[in-house]
């Protein structure tokens, strides 16, 4: 079975979504960090499928098809699965919509051959994956910003085991965790 890897950005104070009034791109300390961009291109390119909720899909479908570079190539080439209970337009090539039970749909994806399922996007989708116990590995990207509030990735007790730490010149961190037994 292939694993589900949750890739999510967090502020230094642990928020997975900024509070109202703070732009969504407040995590964008990544932009001019060439080492971090190369790291992310490797993570994105290792996926067998990109999974996301409807809101993240709409944002990414309006961005990645119009970009160049290794990150864009990985996002555009690799199939996408969007989870939505409502009908959604899918203008981005290689997109499939799943509208059934999240745990059932993820189990079916895990049973398929191929590289890992890389889940990204909105904090509500990420919270649902965590709450259902569907995450096999967490790739948490920490930006050198503090939000002081916002949406939390973890809404209940979650014990994790640190597997890897990478630091980057502009203050970004890439932390890899697995669920602790």
Q: What is the pLDDT of residues 24-72, one digit of tens each?
A: 666 655 556 788 888 989 999 999 999 999 999 999 999 999 999 888 9
- Report, as an integer, the average pLDDT of 114-118: 97
In this prediction, residue 26 carries a pLDDT of 63
pLDDT at 173: 92
Angle at 177 between CA 175 and CA 179, to 5 degrees: 160
Contact 31, 13 (CB under 8 A): no
pLDDT score of 133: 95
Q: Is the pLDDT score of 143 beyond 90?
A: no
Q: Which residues of 35-65 are buried (b: 16+ CB within 10 A; e: fewer)?
A: ebbebbbebbbebbbbbbbbbbbbebbeebe
C-alpha to C-alpha distance for 159 and 178, rounded to whole angstroms: 9
**What are the tens digits of pLDDT across the range 80-92?**
999 999 999 999 9
Domain 4-179: homologous superfamily in CATH: Dihydrofolate Reductase, subunit A (3.40.430.10)
**Residue 171's pLDDT band (cuts 50, 70, 90):** confident
């Amino acid at each position: 079975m292939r694993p589900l890897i949750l890739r999510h950005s967090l502020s230094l104070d642990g928020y997975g979504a900024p509070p109202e009034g703070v732009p969504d791109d407040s995590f964008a300390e990544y932009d001019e960090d060439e080492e971090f961009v190369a790291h992310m291109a490797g993570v994105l390119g290792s996926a067998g499928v990109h999974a996301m909720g409807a809101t993240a899909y709409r944002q990414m479908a309006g961005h990645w098809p119009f970009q160049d570079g290794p990150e864009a190539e990985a996002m555009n080439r690799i199939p996408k699965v969007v989870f939505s209970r409502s009908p959604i337009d899918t203008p981005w090539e290689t997109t499939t919509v799943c509208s059934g039970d999240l745990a059932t749909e993820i189990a079916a994806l895990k049973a398929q051959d191929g590289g890992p399922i890389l889940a990204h996007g909105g904090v509500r989708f990420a919270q649902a994956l965590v709450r259902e116990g569907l995450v096999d590995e967490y790739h948490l990207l920490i930006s050198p910003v503090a939000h002081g509030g916002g949406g939390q990735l973890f809404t209940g007790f979650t014990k994790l085991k640190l597997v890897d730490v990478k630091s980057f010149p502009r203050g970004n961190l890439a932390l890899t965790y697995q669920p602790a037994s």
